[in-house]
C-alpha cells in the first residue's frame, strides 16, 4: 500500500498556495512532478503522507484552495 | 550624476534588488512552472512569492489574477486589446500616455469609438453611454504629475455598469493604491518605476469578474494537451517563459516598499516636490505646468524657460551639471497639446525615493545658472 498520496491542482500558483498552506499547518509535504499516469501536464503536484489526508483536506477547505484530485 | 528621471524608470534600486537579480540569474535560472527538478521548483517559487508580495502591497485578494507582463505598456495592451471589440465605445482622458492612446487608436481603425475627455468625474459621467464597454484612466499624468480622482471616476463608471482600467505607471509604489477598497477592475503597473524592479517587468491585475481574451498564445506548462490557452489565470495570459530574474528583482523591490511603507515614500517625494517647485518658481522666466500643490501631484514637475528650447536645457543640465532629466513630449502628445506645450514639449524633473534635498538644491541652482547665462547673452 502506498504511504504517500499526490494532490493535483489546476495551476502552478494553486500548487504553491497549497504547499504554503500545508507547511503553515505543520503538514510535511514536497513538490513533485505530476506523474504521467495522472496528467499529461509538465507541471507540479504536492506529495504528502497518506495519514495526513484528513488534515490536508481541512486545510484546503479552510483556505478555499480547489483541488483537482488526489492519487 | 544626479538622477532626476524617475518617471521614466527608477534609479538607483534598493540594494536588495541587485542582490536578488544576481542570485537568481546565477543560481536559479531554470524555467518556472515547467520542469519538476529542484531548480525549476525554486524558480516557480520566486514567481509565486512575487505575486503574493504584489497582492499584499496593493491589497489584492486574488494573487492568481496578477499577470506578469514586460512593462505597463504590455499590461495596458493586454487589457485594451483583450476586452474591446469593433462596435464598442471606450471613454478615456485627454492626458493619456501613448501606451493607451496607440492601442485605442489601432482599435478605432476597425470600429471602436473613443471619447477623450478631461480627467474629471463630470467629464466621464457625461461621456459614458449605453455602448461604453470600458473606461481607461491614468492615475497620474506622466507629464505634469496631476493625480486623477480615480475613486470618483470608478464610482461613476460602476454605477453605469462599466469596468475601469487604471494606468498606475506613475503612482505604483509612490501613492497608496487599495485595489479592494477602490474596486479597481484592471490595474496596469510597470515593475521598473516606483516598484524598483528591473526593466522588462510589469503586471496587469484582472478582477475575477472581468473576462479578458488572451493576446499572446503559447506554452504555459499547464493543460499542455490542449491547443487552446488554459481557461484559468494567470496561465491564460502568461504564454512563454517568464522573466524570472526580473520578477525576482521586482519581488525584492515590492518587499522594500512593504517594509518602508508607501506613505513614507510619498511623504519624502512630496517634500522634495515642494522644495523643487518653490525653487523653480523663484527663477524669472521659468513657467511651471500643472498643480502647484505637491499633495495633488506625483513626483513630476514640468517646466519651460521663456526663449530656451527644452532640448537645450536638458543637454546643459546633463553635460555641464551632471543632472539627468527628460525633455520633449514624454510619449504623451495629447497632454502637451492640452497644456499648450506641443510640439516643443518641456523639461520634466522627476525626483524619486532615493533623491535628497541636496539633489534638488543643485538642480534648482543649475536651472538658475542656465537662465542667468542666457539673460547675460541677450543683454
Q: What is the pLDDT of residues B107-138, one digit of tens each?
A: 999 999 999 999 999 999 999 999 999 999 99
* H or E element that contains A48: strand A44-49
- Residue B35, SS3 per DSSP: coil
Provide CB contacts within 8 A for B168, sequence distance 6+. B72, B139, B177, B187, B188, B189
Query: Which tens digit of pLDDT belongs to each residue from B152-178?
Result: 999 999 999 999 999 999 999 999 999
Mean pLDDT of all residues belonging to chain A: 91
| Shortest Cα distance, chain B CAs vs residue A63, angstroms | 12
Q: Taking CB atoms and an 8 Å cutoff, what residues of chain A touch B65?
A: none
Q: What integer pLDDT is reported at residue A1 of this predicted model?
A: 64
Q: What is the CA radius of gyration of chain A?
A: 11
* C-alpha distance from A16 to closest chain B C-alpha (Å): 7
Considering the domain architecture, whether residues B48 and B180 belong to the same structural domain is answered as yes
Distance from CA of A14 to the nearest CA of B (A): 8
- Give the number of beta-carbon pairs within 8 Å between A and B: 53
- In tens digits, chain B (379 residues) has pLDDT values of 999 999 999 999 999 999 999 999 999 989 998 888 999 999 999 999 999 999 999 999 999 999 999 999 999 999 999 999 999 999 999 999 999 999 999 999 999 999 999 999 999 999 999 999 999 999 999 999 999 999 999 999 999 999 999 999 999 999 999 999 999 999 999 999 999 999 999 999 999 999 999 999 999 988 888 999 999 999 999 999 999 999 999 999 999 999 999 999 999 999 999 999 999 999 999 999 999 999 999 999 999 999 999 999 999 999 999 999 999 888 888 888 888 888 888 999 999 999 999 999 999 999 999 999 887 777 7
| pLDDT at res. A70 | 93
Is residue B8 a part of any domain in this protein? no
Shared domain check, B197 and B297:
no
pLDDT at B332: 86
Q: Where are the beta strands (DSSP E) in chain B?
A: 2-3, 66-69, 89-93, 113-117, 132-138, 164-167, 186-190, 202-206, 286-289, 301-305, 323-324, 326-328, 346-349
Nearest to A12 by CA among B98, B271, B43: B43
Which grid coordinates belong to A23? 507547511
Indicate the SS3 state at residue A37: coil
Task: Tell whether B267 and B256 lie within a shared domain.
Answer: no
CA distance readout (Å), A28 to A6, A12, B61, B258:
13, 19, 26, 29
**Cβ contact, residue pair A11, B48, below 8 Å:** no
The answer to whether the Cβ–Cβ distance between B235 and A12 falls below 8 Å is yes
Q: What Rg, from alpha-carbon coordinates, does chain B have?
A: 21
Is A11's Cβ below 8 Å from some Cβ in B? yes
CATH code at B313? 3.90.1150.10
pLDDT at B222: 86
Of the three residues B240, B260, B280, the one that is the final residue of a domain is: B260
Instruction: Check whether A21 has a pLDDT greater than 80.
Output: yes
Q: Are residues B190 and B234 in the same domain?
A: yes
CATH number of the structural domain spanning residue A44: 3.30.70
Query: Could you tell me if B221 and B47 are in contact, meaning their C-beta atoms sit under 8 angstroms apart?
Result: no
Domain boundary among B226, B260, B294: B260
CA distance B366 to B206: 44
> Are B245 and B350 contained in the same domain?
no
- Interatomic CA distance for residues B66 and B233, integer angstroms: 8
CB B207 within 8 A of CB B232: no
Question: Which domain-ending residue is among B214, B236, B260?
Answer: B260
Instruction: Supply the range of the domain harboring residue B354.
Output: 262-378
- A65 burial via Cβ count (<10 Å: 0-12, 13-18, 19+): middle
- Which residue in the block uniquely carries the three cell numbers 503586471? B203
Q: What is the pLDDT of residue B374?
A: 82
B210 and B76 assigned to the same domain: yes
- Among B35, B225, B232, the residue with its CB nearest the CB of A40 is B225
Residues of B with Cβ-Cβ distance to A31 under 8 angstroms: 36, 41
* A41 compared with B210, residue with greater pLDDT: B210
Q: How far apart are CA B163 and CA B159, in angstroms?
A: 10
> What positions of B carry a catalytic annotation?
331
With beta carbons under 8 A apart, name residues in chain B contacting A33. Answer: 35-36
- pTM comes to 0.95
Same domain, B186 and B305: no
For chain A, the distance separating the N- and C-terminal CA atoms, rounded to the nearest angstrom, is 12
B1 inside domain: no
Count of the separate structural domains present in chain A: 1
Cell numbers standing for residue A67: 483541488
**Domain CATH code at residue B144:** 3.40.640.10
pLDDT bucket at A36, cuts 50 / 70 / 90: confident
**pLDDT above 70: percentage of residues in chain A:** 94
**Number of compact structural domains in chain B:** 2
Q: Which residues contact B250 (CB under 8 A, 6 or more apart)?
A: B50, B54, B191, B195, B196, B197, B198, B201
Q: What are phi and psi of A35, to 5 degrees?
A: -60, 145
Q: Tell whether B36 and B181 lie within a shared domain.
A: yes
Which H/E stretch holds residue A7? Answer: strand A4-8
Say yes or no: B83 and B159 in one domain: yes
Structural domain including A38 reads 4-70
CA distance A44 to chain B (A): 6
Contact B234 A43 (CB under 8 A): no
A21 touches chain B (CB under 8 A): no
B3, part of any domain? no
Could you tell me the end-to-end alpha-carbon distance of chain B, in angstroms, rounded to an integer?
32
Whether B294 and B208 map to the same domain: the answer is no
According to the model, what pLDDT value does residue A40 have?
A: 65
Q: Which of A6, A44, A45, A64 to mutate to test the interface with B (most CBs of B within 10 A)?
A: A44
Calpha distance B49→B43 (Å, rounded): 10
Amino acid at each position: 500500500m502506498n504511504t504517500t498520496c499526490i494532490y493535483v491542482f489546476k495551476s502552478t500558483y494553486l500548487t504553491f498556495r497549497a504547499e504554503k498552506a500545508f507547511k503553515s499547518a505543520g503538514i510535511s509535504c514536497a513538490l513533485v512532478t505530476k506523474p504521467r499516469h495522472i496528467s499529461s501536464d509538465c507541471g507540479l503536484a504536492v506529495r504528502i503522507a497518506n495519514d495526513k489526508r484528513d488534515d490536508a483536506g481541512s486545510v484546503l477547505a479552510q483556505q478555499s484552495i480547489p483541488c483537482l484530485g488526489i492519487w | 550624476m544626479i538622477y532626476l528621471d524617475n518617471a521614466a524608470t527608477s534609479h538607483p534600486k534598493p540594494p536588495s534588488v541587485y542582490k536578488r537579480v544576481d542570485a537568481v540569474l546565477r543560481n536559479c535560472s531554470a524555467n518556472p512552472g515547467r520542469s519538476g527538478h529542484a531548480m525549476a521548483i525554486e524558480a516557480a517559487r520566486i514567481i509565486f512569492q512575487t505575486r503574493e508580495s504584489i497582492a499584499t502591497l496593493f491589497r489584492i485578494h486574488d494573487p492568481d489574477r496578477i499577470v506578469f507582463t514586460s512593462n505597463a505598456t504590455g499590461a495596458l495592451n493586454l487589457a485594451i486589446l483583450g476586452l474591446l471589440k469593433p462596435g464598442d465605445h471606450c471613454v478615456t482622458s485627454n492626458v493619456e500616455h501613448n501606451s493607451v492612446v496607440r492601442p485605442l487608436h489601432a482599435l478605432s481603425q476597425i470600429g471602436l469609438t473613443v471619447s477623450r475627455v478631461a480627467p474629471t468625474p463630470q467629464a466621464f459621467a457625461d461621456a459614458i453611454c449605453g455602448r461604453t464597454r470600458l473606461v481607461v484612466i491614468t492615475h497620474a499624468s506622466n507629464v505634469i504629475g496631476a493625480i486623477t480622482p480615480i475613486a470618483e471616476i470608478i464610482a461613476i463608471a460602476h454605477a453605469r455598469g462599466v469596468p475601469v482600467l487604471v494606468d498606475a505607471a506613475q503612482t505604483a509604489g509612490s501613492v497608496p493604491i487599495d485595489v479592494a477598497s477602490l474596486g479597481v477592475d484592471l490595474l496596469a503597473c510597470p515593475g521598473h518605476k516606483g516598484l524598483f524592479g528591473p526593466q522588462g517587468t510589469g503586471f496587469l491585475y484582472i478582477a475575477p469578474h472581468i473576462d479578458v481574451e488572451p493576446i499572446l498564445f503559447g506554452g504555459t506548462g499547464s493543460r499542455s494537451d490542449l491547443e487552446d490557452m488554459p481557461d484559468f489565470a494567470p496561465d491564460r495570459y502568461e504564454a512563454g517563459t517568464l522573466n524570472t530574474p526580473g520578477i525576482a528583482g521586482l519581488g525584492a523591490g515590492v518587499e522594500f516598499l512593504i517594509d518602508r511603507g508607501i506613505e513614507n515614500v510619498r511623504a519624502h517625494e512630496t517634500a522634495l516636490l515642494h522644495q523643487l517647485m518653490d525653487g523653480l518658481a523663484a527663477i524669472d522666466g521659468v513657467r511651471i505646468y500643472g498643480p502647484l500643490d505637491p499633495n495633488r501631484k506625483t513626483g513630476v514637475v514640468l517646466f519651460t524657460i521663456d526663449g530656451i528650447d527644452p532640448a537645450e536645457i536638458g543637454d546643459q543640465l546633463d553635460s555641464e551639471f551632471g543632472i539627468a532629466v527628460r525633455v520633449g513630449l514624454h510619449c504623451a502628445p495629447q497632454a502637451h497639446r492640452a497644456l499648450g506645450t506641443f510640439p516643443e514639449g518641456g523639461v520634466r524633473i522627476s525626483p524619486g525615493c532615493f533623491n535628497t534635498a541636496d539633489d534638488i538644491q543643485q538642480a534648482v541652482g543649475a536651472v538658475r545658472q542656465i537662465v542667468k547665462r542666457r539673460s547675460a547673452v541677450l543683454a
